[in-house]
Structure 1
Amino acid sequence: MGNDYIDTFYRRTLTGDRRYPALGEAAVADVCIVGGGLAGLTTALELARRGRKVALLESRRIAWGASGRNGGFVCAGYSTGLENIERRSNAHDAETLIRLSMEGVEIVRNNIAGLRIADAAPTPGILKVLRHDGGDTLKRRRDSENARFGMRLEFLDSDQVRAQLVSKSYHQGLLDPDGFHFHPLNYARALAAEIIRLGGDIFEESAALSVERVQGGHEIATAGGRISARHVVFTGGGYTDGVAKRLKGSYLPIATYVLLTEPLGDLLQQTIRTKAAIGDDRRAGDYYRIVDGDRLLWGGRITTRTHDPRNLAAQLRKQMVGTYPQLKDVKVELAWSGLMSYARHLMPQIGRMRDGLWYATAFGGHGMNTTAIGGKVIAQAIAGESDRYRLFAPFGLDWNGGPFGRAAVQLTYWTYQAMDAWRERHNKA
């Protein structure tokens, strides 16, 4: 079918493949969620647990987009740093936002444990490494975040990093033992099954075509039916279409690429000697982890171009071999891409547009923690439990600049890449 999952490692290792019907009649719900990625699923699950009748509309399949084909990283923090968050917000709220991101990690962890999602295959440890010599700065960050937020970051010097990652590209690193990596598609589908068990409805291949305000709430139309609901939550990402024009105009669809190698065999111990997932410090840096025992899942190359280059696998492989020359003869079995949504302020967009109309989006580059906390704070607001969603108000629906904004973002990434390359060459000099 045209809307089936694309060929990825996650598709190939999917446990079960339950399909949900398309909406084919009129239905009534307390809340209608538009978008079946991890933010939408978490929103629906949190509301279903609170006894709300939920109906979730997905235009393709559950977690068909970035939610089901990403790197699988779950760790605290955002795509932008604490100082930038404080500039738009304030010191107190910025600290609270960081703690929310930590809470998001625990939401995912607790769902995996509580729902016994063994096929999510959670593996502890996120190792963030420098491609330049910056140990003193990294130590200060460790000390600050451990003292301020109760994190347990561990500093690794160059020898310790290179003992685990056999590459001359890396210097120091920070290990987050509380972060983990997992199988996002199996996780997403387990959330969907729990939503159904709790009495919710999920409709696949049911794109929302319009959302109209009516007495007592909203009416959401699809090609096959309509849903009446008091509340509507938009949780689409890089694949959002024109039904939410203000949202679509507030973030940019950003592509990232991923490859899967053949089994490494004995090369594994000559290359990567840790089970932690790895990401480097560059703006459009590499992120990777070992999956399926001894295969390397490698991602990177963020771009505003939404169409795959013809030599996608070759481009990614060049990055991998440039970091680990010992992998020069390793074959790539599979390569794919996915569209994330990025706001220009590099924070998630979580809030309310008007009474009964909510949004939780722009989760690109943050890891899975923000989809979880975004869904939870919106559910709490709808249930009247909390107004924590207001913490994200300073990071609203800024216009993305249209085609000029896309060009500006691409130019910014190229500039960052050039600066990163210069810094690395300078360190080798």
Structure 2
Amino acid sequence: MAYPDTYYKRTMADQTARATLSGTIECDAVVIGGGLAGLSTALQLARTGRGVTVLEAESVGFGASGRNGGFVGPGYATGGDDIARVVGKNAARRLHQLSVEGMEFIRDNIQSLGIIDAKPEPGIMSVLRYDDGASLRAYAEETRKEYGFELEYMDRDAVRSVLKSERYFQALRNPSAFHMHPLNYLRAIAQEIERLGGRICEQSPATSVELSGAEKRVKTAGGEVKARDVVFTTGGYTGALNGRLKRSFLPIATYVMVSEEAPDLIASAITTRNAIGDNRRAGDYYRVVDDGRRLLWGGRITTHAASTAGLVKELRDEMVGTYPQLAGLKTELAWSGLMSYARHLMPQIGRMSPGVWYCTAFGGHGLNTTAIGGKVIAEGILGESERYKLYEPFGLVWAGGLAGLAVAQLTYWKLQAQDWWRERAA
């Protein structure tokens, strides 16, 4: 299957097509899934000289890894207070520090490998759609004290000087966070894995696995991989290969659109190269791309198949409601993708049994957590650390199946209604 038609596909720098698995391969580790989590794991293993094979059902970056918003910042899909209630304050602090490390891991790879096509741009703004500067100031101070991490407070005038919208009030700007072209980053990582001796097989979905022995076996239609370690890194497109994994998260769809080229019109509304996200649950996120010539805008989630055209109309309504001056900005391209969310809204990272590892459920904050997830799993395989155990309290809990999807959708609608009332009351 070809890549879906996205902005990232149209601007993809590396067009390499890789062969399918043929015959039998013996290596140290086999990674199932060629997205950011899988390739981050494979990269770290290959850097130590381990023999690693990646099996990708479609093409490298086909899923959410290659069609997301491109935001790279610390944190998780759930908040620090919720994490602390489960694991305690000290462990929550360490988990947050891991998320920062994941962000820096990506930045370091871009710099050390010279991935200029990732086009990293510094700065992410988190904006309020109601007036509450005091809470943002308090949060920035707490973050500074707890983690030594500086966030820049922006008052209403500062926000509206770069975002020409009456919908916005205060904001926190993270100068260390950045945004990028995720597919170009990922495909450059794939090239580096191969340069280091790793193997990546595309159009090679795993059809069966044998995990009980010391030597694990993963079969595809065209061959077999034998390895001591197997790592499952599939996300929203996970099939029935590993039932326990598939039952542990929900596939959630999100939607993105990209505008026509209209630099002057876009600049009448947005005069910053920072990426922007609002404070609502599953709210809007957007950034200018192509050196300011286009606007990439994402948001909305659904737990069932939905018309992309219909959801894009809702995105456009949000965009124009926020920036009436963009009413004439045409949408040139739109797409959707499946993310994986666990019930606890944390990534699922760990070991199922000796030699069997998992690294998935990154919906909501995928770029930093896929990076650190792959890194700590590789450390576990290499015996370098057991940092992956910090994620054990957020394991493979059953996500609820169809009932879980229904509850997730109802929860989303409830949160939307709460956001609506809060903004009206402001």
SS in 2 for 1:59: coil
- The aligned counterpart of 1:105 is 103
Distance 1:11 1:309 in 2: 18
SS in 2 for 1:209: strand
- The aligned counterpart of 1:388 is 387
Pairwise CA distance, 1:310: 4.1
- The aligned counterpart of 2:126 is 128
- The aligned counterpart of 1:59 is 57
- The aligned counterpart of 2:287 is 289
SS in 2 for 1:226: strand
Report the AA paired with residue 251 of structure 1. F
Report the AA paired with residue 332 of structure 1. T
- The aligned counterpart of 1:170 is 168
Q: Which runs of 5+ in 2 are unaligned?
A: none
Report the AA paired with residue 93 of structure 1. A
Q: Map 1:46-85; keep pairs closer than 5 Å.
A: 46-85=44-83
Which 10-residue stretch deviates more, 211-220 or 44-53? 211-220
Distance 1:297 1:215 in 2: 48
Which 10-residue stretch deviates more, 256-265 or 185-194? 256-265
- The aligned counterpart of 1:191 is 189
Could you tell me whether the CA contact under 8 Å between 1:304 and 1:406 is conserved in 2?
Answer: yes
Could you tell me whether the CA contact under 8 Å between 1:283 and 1:417 is conserved in 2?
Answer: yes
Report the AA paired with residue 420 of structure 1. D
Pairwise CA distance, 1:217: 2.0
Pairwise CA distance, 1:328: 0.6
Pairwise CA distance, 1:210: 1.0
Distance 1:16 1:387 in 2: 35
Structure 1 residues 325-362: Cα deviation after superposition (integer angstroms, max 9, x where no partner): 10011110000001000011010000010010000000
- The aligned counterpart of 1:333 is 332
SS in 2 for 1:133: coil
Pairwise CA distance, 1:244: 1.4
- The aligned counterpart of 2:41 is 43
Structure 1 residues 174-223: Cα deviation after superposition (integer angstroms, max 9, x where no partner): 00000000000000000000000000000000001111035432100101
Pairwise CA distance, 1:152: 1.5
Distance 2:260 2:283 in 1: 22
Report the AA paired with residue 158 of structure 2. Q
Distance 2:305 2:126 in 1: 27
Report the AA paired with residue 336 of structure 2. S
- Given candidates 253, 256, 261, the residue that maps to 2:254 is 256
Distance 1:401 1:414 in 2: 18
Could you tell me whether the CA contact under 8 Å between 2:255 and 2:308 is conserved in 1?
Answer: no
Could you tell me whether the CA contact under 8 Å between 1:258 and 1:298 is conserved in 2?
Answer: yes
Report the AA paired with residue 160 of structure 1. A
Which 10-residue stretch deviates more, 215-224 or 34-43? 215-224
- The aligned counterpart of 2:345 is 346
- The aligned counterpart of 1:406 is 405
Could you tell me whether the CA contact under 8 Å between 1:75 and 1:367 is conserved in 2?
Answer: no
- TM-score (normalised: structure 2): 0.98
Q: Map 1:146-225; keep pairs closer than 5 Å.
A: 146-213=144-211, 215-225=213-223
SS in 2 for 1:333: strand
SS in 2 for 1:311: helix
SS in 2 for 1:23: coil
Distance 1:200 1:306 in 2: 36
Could you tell me whether the CA contact under 8 Å between 2:308 and 2:334 is conserved in 1?
Answer: no
Report the AA paired with residue 386 of structure 2. D
Distance 1:198 1:272 in 2: 42
Could you tell me whether the CA contact under 8 Å between 2:55 and 2:205 is conserved in 1?
Answer: yes
User: Structure 1 runs of 4+ off > 6 angstroms?
Assistant: none
Distance 2:352 2:338 in 1: 24
Distance 1:267 1:215 in 2: 61
- The aligned counterpart of 1:361 is 360
Pairwise CA distance, 1:309: 4.0
Could you tell me whether the CA contact under 8 Å between 1:34 and 1:233 is conserved in 2?
Answer: yes
Q: Which runs of 5+ in 1 are unaligned?
A: none
SS in 2 for 1:345: coil
- The aligned counterpart of 1:27 is 25
Distance 1:396 1:269 in 2: 45
Could you tell me whether the CA contact under 8 Å between 1:253 and 1:306 is conserved in 2?
Answer: no
Structure 1 residues 307-334: Cα deviation after superposition (integer angstroms, max 9, x where no partner): 4344233222111111111001111000
- TM-score (normalised: structure 1): 0.98
In the comparison of the two structures, how many residue pairs are matched? Answer: 425
Distance 1:369 1:340 in 2: 15
Could you tell me whether the CA contact under 8 Å between 1:85 and 1:94 is conserved in 2?
Answer: yes
Could you tell me whether the CA contact under 8 Å between 1:221 and 1:227 is conserved in 2?
Answer: yes
Taking only aligned residues, the RMSD between alpha carbons, in angstroms, comes to 0.9
